[in-house]
Structure 1
Amino acid sequence: MTWKTDTYAGWGRALTATGDIARPERASVLAKLPAAPAIGNKRSYGDAPLNDKGRAIDMTRLDRVLDFDAASGVVTVESGLTIGELARLFAPKGWLPPVMPGTGFATIGGCVAMDVHGKNHHHIGSFGQHITAITLLQNGKQRRIAPKDTTLWQATIGGLGQTGVITSASIQMLACKGDVMMVTERRAEGWDEHIALLDASQATYTVGWIDATARGDALGRGILEEGETGAGLVPKPKPSKSVPFNAPHFALSKPIVRAFNAAYYRRVPADGRTVVKPIQDFFFPLDRIHDWNKLYGKRGFHQFQCVVPLDQAGALRAMLDKIAHSGLASPLAVLKRMGEGRAGYLSFPMEGYTLAVDFPNRAAARELIGELEDMTTSAGGRLYLAKDALATPEQMAAMYPQLPQWQKVVAKADPKGALATDMTRRLQLRSAT
């Protein structure tokens, strides 16, 4: 296997790494490689997929469907398969991945390692709760684990790939009516109405776009989307576009973002509407714009995503107010209600409300994110490791009280620290507290 030196980044492009990368195409080749962190499509925003001055194993060529039980809906796939491709292959057969994040380019290995959540978390929990088996590569040997392997299981799901290289996973797929989505869109005129709509929603899939530039009585205004799978004529997907170069700094200036958000809000009639969409357009709307991260320019961007308990909605409102008055927010802001479901020691979800907002990588934005992180800590919330690039070890230790249990399992699974990444080092996650 040839190692190639490359410089690479997470999706936010604010942090980079340079090191040797191997891209095995067969599990037999993978097993012969020296231990190193596994990476997928690098759709985590910060430094989770980075190993500067070290080696990494690119798993994206290990993307095969290994087995499918049509009666039960359990599919076993290699970890390099993307969740969007899994949906494309099986939706016409009446099955969907049980949980899907906001991009179809996330690999299955990445979905396990981050225990991703989706627009249906309030009903069925996180991705890891629907995994029936995982195969790990530890010290050159394959090890198949299941939920009965309690501590290793909980350290692996949401565990940043630190218990071994995830080579395959068996997933209990979700029965669906077909490969189209019936989507109801409604305006929310302000924060209280937006929260009330999220609380009242009984739809299978629910998500809120929020105008992070709106202030005063309009603070928190946005659009609630509720979706159900359906059958029938599949609408023609909108053509893909691409961002061919790094946008200039003024492309996401305050006046442009405010104007875009106002127009986007008004695209939905005051009395709402119901539309039919291809599945990928509902679940992965930004995937149609290839390299959209270049809109933030060559310096990249940061995403702040937190979740706070239900009784701390006021704290989240205060965060949004601070964001709106900063003039730094982009059009990409999402508000969701989450349920209780989580599968691992370091899994992000908790019952509450989650807010995600993108910011251009500037000094003022980094300072603002630091303030938002402190507010999250004070509210008893959590930051999402798949998005983080700026938090401190102390913050993460406070947010994830099961960190010591995770550290104990990881120390046994990878005693030499061969799987450590830039993120685990920055946050001192592998260091016993």
Structure 2
Amino acid sequence: MLWNTRTYTGWGRVHSATGKVARPERVSSVAHVLENQSAPAIGNCRSYGDACLNDGGAAIDMTRMDRLLSFDAETGVLEVEAGVRLGELTRLFAPKGWLPAVMPGTGFATVGGAIAFDVHGKNHHNAGSFGQHVVSLTLMNRGKTQVIGPNKNATLFKATVGGMGQTGIIVSAKLQLLPCKGDVIMVTERRIDGFEEFLEALDASQSTYTVGWIDATATGDGLGRGILEEAETGYGLVKARKASKSVPFNAPGWALSNPIVKMFNSAYFRRVPDRGRTLVKPIQDFFFPLDRIHDWNKLYGKSGFHQFQCVVPIDQAPALRSMLEKIANAGSASPLAVLKRLGPGRAGMMSFPMDGYTLAVDFPNRGRVAKLIAALEEMTEQAGGRVYLAKDATIAPERLKKMYPELAGFAKAANKADPDKAYETDLIRRLQLRNVT
């Protein structure tokens, strides 16, 4: 197995790492690598901060491990290698009447990454998190494999799902897919004029998939305005997806200046008629809307960007309103801001979701953004919420520890599986996640 020196970043491009990277194609190759040098696994590096980075150390790129191993067309149980992309599973199985049970906002996320962060999607309020649909997974540690699941070595399973790769290398998994009607989706869009109305609409939604776009620049009576999307799968003919486009260079700083973002958000809000509308789309256009623009992270310029994502309990919704006020007054938000209703579902000790509301906002990495995000993190902590580690690059260890009550149990399980801490990444070291007792 060849090791190549490589410099790579998370999707936010604020932090980078340089180190040796191996790209195995077979399970036997992974075992050979781990016999000689343990190292954390990485996928397509779609986590935003430093979770996928191991600066100065080695990493194992699992993206060539992308085979489909078996599929039961009657039960919908699919076994795949960890490097398979969720968008590819959607493309292959939606026409057959099956979908990955949970999908994040990008189809470039790998199955291994989805397990490692126990990702959530637009249906978390009724389907829970990704890890809740993992029947079993094959974990490799020091060249040896073991199959674990919710009822087989359950403690290790709960430390692995949402555990950011700290218990070993996920080489494959059996997933329970969910039935769907076909590979198109019917999306109903309607304007929501303010924050409280938005929460009421999210709570009242009976749709399988629900998500809200928020105008994070709006103030006053318009604070929290946005567009609610509710969707159900269907079947029929729709136009094929347009060819993907790429952002060829880093955008200049003025491209996402506050006046331009305000103008864009205002136009985007009004693109939906007052009466609302229903559209029929290819299924991937709804689940992965930005995937058609390759390297869209370059729109934030060479300095990169941060995404802040938090969840707060239902009774702490006023804290989210205060966050939106602070964000709008700071004038730093981008057009990308999302509000969703989460249910209680979570599969791992370090899983992000809780029964509440989640807000995600992108900020270009400039000016006083770090100070703004620190204030939002403090507000999240005070509200009894938590930040999403797949997006984080800034939170302090002391604050993080108060947000994840099962952290000590996770650290114990991870240290037992990896006593030499060979699987630690920059995020794990920054937050001292395995030093908790």
Tell me whether 1:113 sits opposite 2:125 in the alignment. Answer: no
Structure 2 CA distance, aligned partners of 1:186 and 1:35? 50
Scaled by the length of structure 1, what TM-score is found? Answer: 0.99
Correspondence list, 1:372-383, <5 A: 372-383=376-387
Correspondence list, 1:328-339, <5 A: 328-339=332-343
Equivalent in the alignment of 2:402: 398
Correspondence list, 1:338-377, <5 A: 338-377=342-381
Equivalent in the alignment of 2:107: 104
Deviations 1:49-101 (A, max 9, x none): 00000000000000000010111100000000000001111001100000000
Counterpart residue type for residue 204 of structure 1: T
Structure 2 CA distance, aligned partners of 1:432 and 1:236? 51
Equivalent in the alignment of 1:64: 67
Structure 2 CA distance, aligned partners of 1:167 and 1:362? 38
Q: Structure 1 residue 247: deviation in Å?
A: 0.3
Correspondence list, 1:34-73, <5 A: 34-73=37-76
Q: 2:266 aligns with which of 262, 269, 272?
A: 262
Structure 1 CA distance, aligned partners of 2:154 and 2:2? 37
Structure 2 CA distance, aligned partners of 1:361 and 1:352? 28
37-46 or 138-147, which deviates more:
138-147
Equivalent in the alignment of 1:184: 188
Equivalent in the alignment of 2:9: 9
| Partner-residue secondary structure (3-state), 1:77 | strand
Tell me whether 1:75 sits opposite 2:42 in the alignment. Answer: no
Structure 2 CA distance, aligned partners of 1:4 and 1:141? 24
Counterpart residue type for residue 85 of structure 1: E
What is the aligned-residue RMSD (CA, Å)? 0.6
Structure 1 CA distance, aligned partners of 2:314 and 2:53? 34
Deviations 1:111-150 (A, max 9, x none): 0000000000000100000000010011101111111122
Unaligned runs of 5+ in 1: none
Tell me whether 1:92 sits opposite 2:95 in the alignment. Answer: yes
Q: Structure 1 residue 395: deviation in Å?
A: 1.2
Q: 2:433 aligns with which of 419, 429, 433?
A: 429
Deviations 1:390-413 (A, max 9, x none): 001111110001001101111110
Structure 2 CA distance, aligned partners of 1:74 and 1:174? 9
Deviations 1:280-329 (A, max 9, x none): 10000000110000000000000000000000100000000100010000
Count of residue pairs the alignment pairs up: 433
Q: Structure 1 residue 236: deviation in Å?
A: 1.9
Q: Does the CA-based 8 Å contact 2:309-2:391 persist in structure 1?
A: yes
Q: Structure 1 residue 234: deviation in Å?
A: 3.0
Q: Does the CA-based 8 Å contact 1:235-1:276 persist in structure 2?
A: no
Equivalent in the alignment of 2:24: 24
Tell me whether 1:240 sits opposite 2:235 in the alignment. Answer: no
Structure 2 CA distance, aligned partners of 1:179 and 1:416? 46
Unaligned runs of 5+ in 2: none
Q: Does the CA-based 8 Å contact 1:339-1:351 persist in structure 2?
A: yes
Equivalent in the alignment of 1:324: 328
Q: Does the CA-based 8 Å contact 2:307-2:391 persist in structure 1?
A: yes
Counterpart residue type for residue 21 of structure 2: I
Scaled by the length of structure 2, what TM-score is found? Answer: 0.98
Equivalent in the alignment of 2:229: 225
Taking every aligned residue pair, what percent have the same amino acid on both sides? 68
Counterpart residue type for residue 61 of structure 2: D
Equivalent in the alignment of 2:276: 272
Tell me whether 1:129 sits opposite 2:127 in the alignment. Answer: no
Structure 2 CA distance, aligned partners of 1:236 and 1:261? 27
Structure 2 CA distance, aligned partners of 1:391 and 1:370? 7
Structure 1 CA distance, aligned partners of 2:189 and 2:103? 20
Q: Structure 1 residue 432: deviation in Å?
A: 2.3
Tell me whether 1:213 sits opposite 2:217 in the alignment. Answer: yes
Structure 2 CA distance, aligned partners of 1:129 and 1:232? 30
Deviations 1:157-211 (A, max 9, x none): 0000100100001000000000000000000011111111111100000000000
Structure 2 CA distance, aligned partners of 1:432 and 1:415? 14
Deviations 1:11-44 (A, max 9, x none): 0000001100000111111110021000000000
Q: 2:312 aligns with which of 308, 318, 334?
A: 308
| Partner-residue secondary structure (3-state), 2:381 | helix
| Partner-residue secondary structure (3-state), 2:229 | strand
Structure 2 CA distance, aligned partners of 1:68 and 1:341? 26
| Partner-residue secondary structure (3-state), 1:314 | helix
Structure 1 CA distance, aligned partners of 2:130 and 2:208? 15
Counterpart residue type for residue 313 of structure 1: A
Correspondence list, 1:290-309, <5 A: 290-309=294-313
Q: Does the CA-based 8 Å contact 2:148-2:154 persist in structure 1?
A: no
Counterpart residue type for residue 416 of structure 2: K
Structure 2 CA distance, aligned partners of 1:187 and 1:361? 30
Counterpart residue type for residue 28 of structure 2: S
Counterpart residue type for residue 4 of structure 2: K
